[in-house]
Amino acid sequence: MPLATAQSLGWNLSRTLMTVIVLIETNQGYFVIPADEFDGDPEQVVREYDPFNR
């Protein structure tokens, strides 16, 4: 998915689910997943959305 879409989705999911979401970059584009489910390379992480950290 495009970066702008992934950023919007990541922020929205974080606030809705009240969980930390990470935005990662892969060869296929950008993806958002819960931080506790991400077990890949930390260098793939573009941004972390933490609803508890303002």
Residue 24 lies in a domain: yes
Whole-model pTM: value is 0.88
Sign of the torsion formed by the C-alpha atoms of 50, 17, 5 and 22: positive
- Burial (Cβ within 10 Å: 0-12, 13-18, ≥19) of residue 44: middle
Domain count across the chain: 1
Q: Say what the pLDDT of residue 53 is.
A: 85
Residue 11 lies in a domain: yes
Q: Which residues of the chain have pLDDT under 70?
A: 54
Residue 41 lies in a domain: yes
Q: Say what the pLDDT of residue 11 is.
A: 95
Residue 54 lies in a domain: no
Residue 21 lies in a domain: yes
> Which domain, by its residues, includes 16?
3-49
Q: Which two tokens stand for residue 9?
A: 């989705």
